[in-house]
Amino acid sequence: MAAEDLPSEFDVVILGTGLAESVVAAACSRVGQRVLHVDRRSYYAANWASFTFNALLTWIQEIQAESLSEEVQDRSSLVEEGEELIYLSGSDSASISNLQVFCYVSEEAEEEEEPANTTEEEEAGAAGEGAAKEPSETESAGSKEEEAGEAAEGDEQAAQEQGEEPEADQPQPSAPPSQSEPTRKKISYTQLVKEGRRFNIDLVSKLMYSRGSLVDLLIKSNVSRYAEFKNVTRILTYRHGSVEQVPCSRADVFASRQLSVVEKRKLMRFLTSCVEETEEHQAYNGRPYLEFLREQQLGDNLQHFLLHSIAMVTEDTLTEVGLASTRHFLRCLGRYGNTPFLFPVYGLGEIPQCFCRMSAVFGGIYCLRHSVSCLIVDKDSNRCKAVIDSRGQRISCSHFVVEDGFVGADRKVATPTRLLSRAVLITDASVLPGDSEQQVSLVTVPPTDGRPAVNMVELSPSTMTCIPGTYLVHLTCQSVGSAYEDLSPVVTRMFCTAECQDQENRPAVLWCLYFNMADGSGVEPEGHDLPSNVYVCSGPDGALGHEHAIKQAESIFLKILPEEEFCPPAPNPEDIIYDGENTSPTSIGEEEEEEGLTAAGGEGEEKQQEQQEEETSLQPEE
């Protein structure tokens, strides 16, 4: 960090580099606002971040160690007449909870594979240790205790593991040499760490609807030139104990072997009829979508696909909601591929960074590891006049945008905290091996026995998020219990978690992480006990798409600048006039994106095409 001070005046100061904050930053810079964008963390994208395996381990450590909050320094000396201070929260540690790590692979790469004999578990309590680096007997004993406790609650999985573990300790060496498959190359933990940089593990799990607001915004604003995308290649669903492909496009329906020709016709006809709203549809308004589907005489197969995998709603969702969701799905089909979804190469964390880069290109100033400790509020107007940064500098601003985690609990409207349950798995095979090993799949797991529906995204190495020979699997659902309680039953049903000889040949989990994250969908940008020119951005929500954050960003932007266009297309770099004066933002911020301009045009990335070729401008790779 250069010792230089930041400029003391900005139009907009933004704290937090999550998706909504980054979009606001890009939008404001784009229309000429002076933007200061800071984040207390050392990485971009807040809870939207993607980490390498090693960085994820560090992140886990930090979360577990998160007790040392910054001392609140008294800044009253900087307050002038008629002003008061609002202190911001020093950390957002509250957003992540119930973190648990399990490792199912052996430490070293061994030829005569001795199966991992421990189920490691890192808990919030076991803080500070190199995560899962030294599996010790004490730790695994600890986990046994933990699981025993869960078993008492009737958790079958825990009981199962517990039953297996002693076995794993002793008689194992005789069994595996004969049983082990010679084809499947085992990956050791050392290898995961060694090649950790090739992972890009997202904290949130989302997909981009190809006609969703994020894709539209990326195209419209030309931000798409900073990223590449892959098609999600198939939609799968978990049903009757096995994984099936959901035929959703015309080509899928044609090729499907599970559907009879009559079912094919019914499905196609239903999907076609959904595109336009009809009176028949309206007649079902207010009644469950399931009832509507039943009336269509589609049969169990199709009903399952339509409800859980296409509309992705629950049995009691209303018809109008279910239909709207189905329509959205259908509109997105075929724009870039045979499914409605795209996934950014190198992970979702790329997206907020792309917007930050756009902001920097248009003069936004960026500082990581830099925070705002308090706001200075004009008592008369109840507006935020300035902020005081973590180094005690007073910076005046007209608007302040903040990630909700930094807003003190006392200032927030009390909303019931909803949580998301997340699991991240590194596995050694796909849940449904196909012709190609480079499938990117969305797997919908319908709700069972009071457990919520789970969205599962399986990423292949082609997305540059995991190393060859592995798959990265993200599971997400609305929390009922802890992430482990919510998701481990699904994991044990679909994967092989211990080094057992599983006859079903399910993919083995090499490493996995469970945690809960606050669900951002409950946080409102306004209405808090805050000055009127302070806007709160929520963290990630549980929906599959990005609509929530993009909508939020747009509404904040329109409040700041009601007269301005939201993210108009960025001009081509060769059309920008540099007359020396006030154009190039000097490198003040330590993380400033100096390469922004060259990257924007220099490579002339083919991805950005003419307006009329909109269909391909967000060109999926390959």
Partner 1 sequence: MHGRVKIKTTAQQEEEKRKEREKKLKIYVAARDACFSKRNEGIWDDEALQLTQQLLSSNPDFATLWNYRREILMHLETVKDKDEVQKIYEAELSFTESCLKVNPKSYGSWHHRGWVSARLPRPDWARELTLCDRCLSLDDRNFHCWDYRRMVVKMSGVPVDQELAFTDRLIGSNFSNYSSWHYRSTLLPLLHPESPEPPSPCREPPQSSPPPSPQTHSHRVCEEQLLKEYELVQNAFFTDPNDQSAWFYYRWLLGRAEREEMISCVYVNREEERVAVAFSRPVNAQSVGLFLVLDGQPQRVEWRSVHPCFKHSPVWICSLPPGTISDITNERNLTVHWTEKHTHRDCALYTGRTESWCRDSATDQELFRSELSVEKTSVLQSELQSVKQLQELEPLNKWCLLTIILLMRALDPLGYEQEMLAHFRTLKEVDSMRSAYYSDLCSKFMIENTILKMEYAEVRVFSISDKNLTTLCHLDQLLLVTHINLSSNHLQRLPPQFAMLQCLEVLEADNNAIENLEGVYHLPKLEEVLLKNNKISTLADLQPLASCPKLKRLDLRGNPVTQTANVESELAELLPSVTDLLL
Q: Which residues of this protein are in contact with partner 1, per CB under 8 A?
A: 30-34, 250-251, 253-255, 261-262, 264-266, 268-269, 362-363, 571, 575-577, 579, 582-583
- For residue 43, give both structure tokens: 């990485």
**CB of 265 or CB of 391, closer to partner 1:** 265
The CA-to-CA distance between both ends of the chain, in Å, stands at 41
Backbone angles phi, psi at 290, to 5 degrees: -60, -40
Residue located via tokens 């079912």: 263
Backbone angles phi, psi at 512, to 5 degrees: -150, 155
CB 318 within 8 Å of CB 326: no
- For residue 349, give both structure tokens: 């964390």
- For residue 264, give both structure tokens: 């094919």
- What is residue 495's DSSP assignment? S
Distance CA(430)–CA(466), nearest Å, equals 13
Specify burial of residue 189 (Cβ count, 10 A radius: 0-12, 13-18, 19+): buried
In the complex, least distance from residue 29 CB atom to partner 1, rounded to whole angstroms = 9
Each residue of 352-370: b (16+ CB within 10 Å) or e?
Answer: bbbbbbbbbbbbbbbbbeb
Distance CA(158)–CA(144), nearest Å, equals 8
CB 528 within 8 Å of CB 407: yes
Q: Which of 406, 607, 439, 602 is nearest to 523 (CA)?
A: 406
**CB of 193 or CB of 576, closer to partner 1:** 576
**CB of 211 or CB of 264, closer to partner 1:** 264
In the complex, least distance from residue 508 CB atom to partner 1, rounded to whole angstroms = 31
Q: Which of 6, 17, 9 is nearest to 401 (CA)?
A: 17
Distance CA(91)–CA(409), nearest Å, equals 12
- For residue 280, give both structure tokens: 């028949």
Distance CA(262)–CA(219), nearest Å, equals 39
Distance CA(244)–CA(229), nearest Å, equals 25
In the complex, least distance from residue 251 CB atom to partner 1, rounded to whole angstroms = 6
In the complex, least distance from residue 259 CB atom to partner 1, rounded to whole angstroms = 9
CB 506 within 8 Å of CB 499: no
**CB of 34 or CB of 546, closer to partner 1:** 34
Distance CA(186)–CA(255), nearest Å, equals 34
- For residue 353, give both structure tokens: 């960074």
